[in-house]
A = this chain, B = another copy of it.
């Protein structure tokens, strides 16, 4: 708890309040990145939050577990928050909630049944009992000055919702994450009729998922994956091992159906897979024929052709089940005759890790079927073709592309313009931009600073960009500690310094000439009166950096330790 206060980002300068009667919209995450979605709506002194997710770090953010949205700008106003609406149960939309509720545990969470069950399980691990308000498509409720209406949207997790927000300032529609599969596996279509009705009423601001805005055409229907999945189950002589996202209930349903049709039992492997599918079964989102799912012990006793495993690790995560199978360190050994089915996307940045797993499995003799060689995955987000349908149906006054890197937001903006939205009514915004909807017109009126808030071990917000820069330097160059015993009266070394290195390959033998270089530098420093402990450390560090760069062509992080003789 205390660590939250130690945030690196200072509380942002409080922006001037929105004009009377206006609705202010500010994204604290999710613009310019895919992850940590969090948008705050302010009206009449009250705040409504939509989503509170996490962002997963990239390779230049080492040691970071997840990145949170930066809600420092509303930290002093958490009592004004009337609710957090969670559009669906993915981590990039709900993963930040436990950290937000640490600061005010009784903020009501509004969401669909499955979404609330996923966040409930997560909060239970954080020992938080949330206040929840369950809603469903077609539902409508009022919180403070916000009149909320929920609409069904189709996505790669069941029970997703779009939310329409009515205030005195106008009507806002936020799609959440969505696509428009016209034959969804659960027959729950994205509610374009509802979108049309809201369009008739007049949507003043339309927030639209941009993830696939640069992908031409239409996302293939989930049902069209069935033949390729079926074929794997029908033709594999050994075991079928399926790896997918632990929240992709529909994909797992397809896998269970294929296993059942081909006389295989299924074991679920991996903590998050077991937890989420358990919830999905309990709540009726996943239909399981009696006796189909068995435990891992039972499955190990069955002949290979009667076995299917469903596990985590489709992104090559080194500690997940699949990577351990590929490395031969998991109790279940994979081999000749088995097929591994990666029914998942290949998230940019994870390629090397995934290919390492595929190479490992291939070397063990398994056949690996993935998106690259079979039709076994489609995205959960609307492609360009679907998005233009939306724009033409809703015909919004102003568009705010959300949920994307800059290139996605811009591609989405171009789509809106092509459907006839005026270019100056399409806002390509950044996290922290203040968008005020006032007199029927939404414009960017200012900006607040928004930082990356790093969760790092048990600390939140302690690690800064400077910390990460140090880690990158340590990780590429290693560290060199110089322990120097110095006579405080003469500023002279009393013996050869000790050199301790990690991640830098040179034994102490190579450091002989450093001693005389340090001696000279210390003498020069003494001559100009630089003899405090700080001066000595500084002199030793600088001289060592210089000497090591010249001698070895490298730049390890140098830590000077000066001891009084």
Residues of chain A touching chain B, judged by Cβ–Cβ distance below 8 Å, are 32, 58-59, 62-63, 214, 348-349, 351-352, 355, 358-359, 362-363, 368, 372-373, 405-407, 410, 456-459, 462-464, 467-468, 470-479, 481, 483, 485, 498, 500, 502-506, 552-554, 557, 559, 561, 563
A362 touches B479 (CB 8 A): no
**20 further contact pairs, Cβ within 8 A, besides A32-B359, A59-B59, A471-B477:** A62-B475, A63-B476, A63-B477, A63-B478, A63-B503, A355-B407, A359-B406, A359-B407, A457-B552, A458-B552, A464-B505, A471-B474, A475-B476, A479-B502, A481-B559, A481-B561, A483-B483, A485-B563, A502-B559, A559-B559
Measured in the bound complex, the distance between the Cα atoms of B479 and A382 in whole Å is 45
A553 touches B505 (CB 8 A): no
Residues of B within 8 A of A58 (CB): 352
B358 touches A407 (CB 8 A): yes
Residues of B within 8 A of A504 (CB): 467
Residues of B within 8 A of A32 (CB): 359
Residues of B within 8 A of A470 (CB): 478, 502-503
Q: What would be 26 A-B contacts, judged by CB atoms less than 8 Å apart? A: A32-B359, A59-B352, A62-B475, A63-B478, A214-B372, A348-B351, A359-B406, A359-B407, A363-B406, A456-B554, A457-B552, A459-B552, A467-B503, A467-B505, A471-B503, A472-B475, A474-B475, A475-B475, A479-B557, A481-B559, A481-B561, A483-B561, A483-B563, A498-B561, A502-B557, A502-B559
Residues of B within 8 A of A485 (CB): 563
Q: Can you name the residue of chain B whose Cβ is closest to the Cβ of A557?
A: B502
Q: How many copies does the complex hold?
A: 2
Residues of B within 8 A of A554 (CB): 63, 456-458
Distance (Å) between the CB of A470 and the closest chain B CB?
4
Q: Which of B407, B410, B475, B481 contacts A471 (CB 8 A)?
A: B475
Q: Can you name the residue of chain B whose Cβ is closest to the Cβ of A368?
A: B407
Measured in the bound complex, the distance between the Cα atoms of B352 and A349 in whole Å is 5
Q: Can you name the residue of chain B whose Cβ is closest to the Cβ of A60?
A: B352
Measured in the bound complex, the distance between the Cα atoms of B474 and A405 in whole Å is 30
B406 touches A362 (CB 8 A): yes
Measured in the bound complex, the distance between the Cα atoms of B559 and A348 in whole Å is 36
Distance (Å) between the CB of A472 and the closest chain B CB?
7
Q: Can you name the residue of chain B whose Cβ is closest to the Cβ of A430?
A: B363
Residues of B within 8 A of A59 (CB): 59, 352
Residues of B within 8 A of A457 (CB): 552-554
B359 touches A352 (CB 8 A): no
Measured in the bound complex, the distance between the Cα atoms of B355 and A214 in whole Å is 13
A462 touches B500 (CB 8 A): no
